[in-house]
Structure 1
Amino acid sequence: MNTKIKFNRWLSAGGLIFFLLLGWEASAQWVNQPYLFPSPSQIFIKMIDLHHVLFFVHLPATLSVMLIGLFCSMILGVALALCMNKFKTLEQAIYPILIVSQTIPIIALAPVFVLWFGYSIWSKVLVTILITFFPITVNTFDGLKSTSKEQLEWFKTAGASKRAILTKLYIPSALPSFFSGMKVAITLSVIGAAIGEWLGANAGLGYFSRRMMTQFDGAGVFAPIVWLSILGLIGFLLITLLEYYLLKWRHIK
């Protein structure tokens, strides 16, 4: 029954996407201004024409920014969440700063990073870190805080070491929230990489999209954007599969 519900859900989503693309195609053909409003078929043809330069040159550059930024965010976010959970004073000092940091428009800071680091990969990585750091930190911290007090008392009564309490209680309790943060962060990493490349880069899907815009190539602008969406979708599915594998107990009924 559950499998049938999931199939119907995917079928409904696929049908909606199909009709949206069909409407887009018809509207683009009616407008007939491909440099402003390209159709899905024109974008697909452009992706085929540019597959070599997009897939083998610009996609690896964007993927590198995403993975490095996401890895740094994961390490820093989990470490900070553990420290805030351990030290109440640190939580009271850092948590408001985390909230305030999300009110600053990253696109306004990106040019500053380019000024500091030039067109190197690190200016784009820093933008990605700033965007992805928050959901990982906050979700992991919330997961740690949701640890059962009764189980914690039982561990202490049983004489468990601090390391055992961390690895056997806190981390398993925080894993579902951590993966929720990672699923948000991996989609945001696409945005962070694209913003960084749009404002200053020599390679990458965001850079290529901006270059096509200066040439008034509407399909060329959309082609790398489609690849960015594909990267985000693949990343989300990989995190979901990893979550399912590591948290199988949540799916046992």
Structure 2
Amino acid sequence: MNENGLVSRLPGWVGSALMSSTVFIGLIILWWLAVVAFDIPKYLLPPPQAVIPELIASRQSLWIHSLVTIQEIVLGFALSVVTAIPLGLLIALSPTAKRMLYPLLVFIQLVPKIAIAPLFVVWIGFGPTSKVMLTLLLTFFPLLLASIAGFQILDQRFLYLTKSMGATTWQTFRYLRFPSALPVIFGGLKTSATIAATAAIVAEFVGANQGLGYLLLQATGVMDTKLVFAILFVMTIIGLGLNSIVELVEYFMTPWRRNQSRD
């Protein structure tokens, strides 16, 4: 084994997932130690060994509500991806579009989304559509900014070089501008993925009859702290899973970065 060790041989997304899992396990150990060391009552902070049986006992309810929340997260995040990235490309390449659209988008971003969340419930109802729309709004702007920055990061000298070599606009975009923008865009995707999980839960707080946020409010109302921590555990797993999926996609879409890390 070389001096870099086994961990350095792993793909970036695998190493990141292992590190996240290690930190997560470490937090659980600290949680258990804090309960034991400070003799915290179980109704205030149940120990991990009390939460695990609750996870098993409530697995059917957690599964049903998790599916609802996951659907809201995925749909909202997917809508953000298919709208923010193309719009970021348009704004990055067109000064006219930037003058027309960017001030409006900044104004929309400045409007507090949580404050208008009840309006989505009034306009759209208690169903998942209102949660998807709020998730879209909360994840849209970070990804838009990352897309604009990514598509503008290319050095103009490379564009002059490709034009002098007879490359078409599509070839320049496909082989130069888009690959150079991907690392920045994926940074925005990771940020938006984290926000998406939180946004869906907050949207369910405002008004819902199903989902993990709804279940969390129910558990909090009856002071069932074991169920609360079981829900938080599931929510954390969902967030880590979504972030790992984004890192996996990044790993396969940016093979040149893997080669650079090996060098």
Q: TM-score, normalised by structure 2?
A: 0.86
- Ranges in structure 2 where 5+ consecutive residues have no aligned partner: 9-14
After superposition, the Cα gap between the structure-2 partners of 1:226 and 1:15, relative to the gap in structure 1 and judged at 3 Å, is closer
After superposition, the Cα gap between the structure-2 partners of 1:24 and 1:97, relative to the gap in structure 1 and judged at 3 Å, is farther
Structure 2 match to 1:133? 140
Q: State whether structure 2 residue 95 is matched by structure 1 residue 85.
A: no
Contact 2:65-2:210 within 8 A present in 1 as well: yes
Per-residue deviation at 1:14?
A: 6.1
Contact 2:72-2:135 within 8 A present in 1 as well: yes
Structure 2 match to 1:32? 41
Aligned length: 249
Q: Where do residues 46-85 of structure 1 align in structure 2 (5 Å cutoff)?
A: 46-55=54-63, 57-85=64-92
Question: C-alpha offsets along residues 189-225 of structure 1, whole Å, 9 cap, x if unaligned?
Answer: 1001101111111211111111111222111122222
Contact 2:72-2:131 within 8 A present in 1 as well: yes
Structure 2 match to 1:17? 27
- Ranges in structure 1 where 5+ consecutive residues have no aligned partner: none
Contact 1:206-1:225 within 8 A present in 2 as well: no
Structure 1 CA distance for aligned equivalents of residues 53 and 228 of structure 2: 13
Q: More deviation in 201-210 or 161-170?
A: 161-170
Contact 2:138-2:196 within 8 A present in 1 as well: yes
Q: Percent of counterpart pairs with the same letter?
A: 29
Contact 2:54-2:230 within 8 A present in 1 as well: yes
Q: State whether structure 2 residue 220 is matched by structure 1 residue 213.
A: yes
Per-residue deviation at 1:60?
A: 0.8
Contact 1:84-1:141 within 8 A present in 2 as well: yes
Structure 2 CA distance for aligned equivalents of residues 144 and 251 of structure 1: 21
Structure 2 CA distance for aligned equivalents of residues 230 and 160 of structure 1: 46
After superposition, the Cα gap between the structure-2 partners of 1:146 and 1:118, relative to the gap in structure 1 and judged at 3 Å, is same
3-state secondary structure, aligned to 1:234: helix
Instruction: Report the AA paired with residue 30 of structure 2.
Output: L
Per-residue deviation at 1:21?
A: 2.1
Q: State whether structure 2 residue 44 is matched by structure 1 residue 41.
A: no
3-state secondary structure, aligned to 2:39: helix
Structure 1 match to 2:256? 249
Per-residue deviation at 1:22?
A: 2.5
After superposition, the Cα gap between the structure-2 partners of 1:160 and 1:238, relative to the gap in structure 1 and judged at 3 Å, is same
RMSD: 2.3
Instruction: Report the AA paired with residue 59 of structure 2.
Output: H
Structure 2 CA distance for aligned equivalents of residues 64 and 209 of structure 1: 17
Contact 2:28-2:48 within 8 A present in 1 as well: no
Q: State whether structure 2 residue 121 is matched by structure 1 residue 114.
A: yes
After superposition, the Cα gap between the structure-2 partners of 1:218 and 1:241, relative to the gap in structure 1 and judged at 3 Å, is same
Q: Where do residues 158-173 of structure 1 align in structure 2 (5 Å cutoff)?
A: 158-173=165-180
Q: State whether structure 2 residue 173 is matched by structure 1 residue 174.
A: no
Structure 2 match to 1:239? 246
Question: C-alpha offsets along residues 83-137 of structure 1, whole Å, 9 cap, x if unaligned?
Answer: 1012113223433444444443322121111111111111000110111111211
Structure 2 CA distance for aligned equivalents of residues 38 and 115 of structure 1: 37
